[in-house]
């Protein structure tokens, strides 16, 4: 192995360590954001359940008229009745951030796997490629067998 090849392998190992560090940091950030998002979702669900006490505008109006709820609560109930489940299901900034970080994590993990594959000896790379090709062929065969029981064209 030449000095240049040794240097390239050292650089690959450093890149792999960097990817692992990135993945670890992304996992921490994702977990923190998921906790926040889950808490917010639970709060929205609890608020929704509270608002579901009044199923119609008339029920809420009667409760407001009798002083059981405040004007602010009446407005919230009215708005809720108009928007229904959308209040709970709406994507938050945390939800979007989680999706983004998971995408970055997936990309970093793919790059790490590719770098680790590159470090393997040629014989091992060839063996893995052949094994993957065999698995793909088996999957394709199973798919064809499943579809073989169904007619291609309706009668």
Whether the per-residue pLDDT at 150 is higher than 70: the answer is no
Whether the per-residue pLDDT at 47 is higher than 70: the answer is yes
Instruction: Tell me if 59 is assigned to some domain.
Output: yes
DSSP assignment string, the chain: --HHHHHHHHHHHHHHHHHHHHHHHHHHHHHHHHHHHHHHHHHHHHHHHHHTT--SHHHHHHHHHTTSS-HHHHHHHHHHHHHTTHHHHSPPHHHHHHHHHHHHHHHHHHHHHHHHHHHS-HHHHHHHHHHHHHHHHHHHHHHHHHHHTS-SS--
Instruction: Tell me if 88 is assigned to some domain.
Output: yes
Instruction: Tell me if 109 is assigned to some domain.
Output: yes
Range of the domain at 66: 3-120
Give the mean model confidence (pLDDT) for residues 115-135.
94
Which one is predicted more confidently, 112 or 78?
112
- Our count of domains for the chain comes to 1
Which one is predicted more confidently, 34 or 67?
34
Instruction: Tell me if 102 is assigned to some domain.
Output: yes
């Amino acid at each position: 192995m030449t000095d240049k090849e040794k240097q390239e392998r050292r650089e690959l190992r450093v890149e792999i360590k960097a990817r692992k560090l990135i993945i670890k940091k992304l996992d921490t950030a994702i977990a923190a954001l998921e906790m926040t998002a889950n808490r917010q979702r639970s709060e929205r669900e609890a608020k929704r359940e509270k608002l579901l006490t009044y199923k119609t505008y008339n029920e809420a109006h009667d409760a407001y008229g009798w002083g059981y709820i405040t004007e602010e609560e009446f407005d919230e109930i009215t708005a809720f009745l108009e928007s229904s489940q959308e209040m709970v299901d709406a994507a938050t900034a945390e939800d979007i951030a989680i999706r983004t970080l998971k995408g970055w994590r997936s990309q970093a993990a793919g790059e790490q796997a590719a770098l680790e594959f590159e470090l393997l000896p040629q014989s091992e790379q060839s063996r893995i490629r052949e094994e993957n090709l065999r698995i793909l062929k088996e999957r394709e065969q199973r798919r064809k067998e499943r579809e073989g029981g169904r007619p291609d064209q309706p009668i």
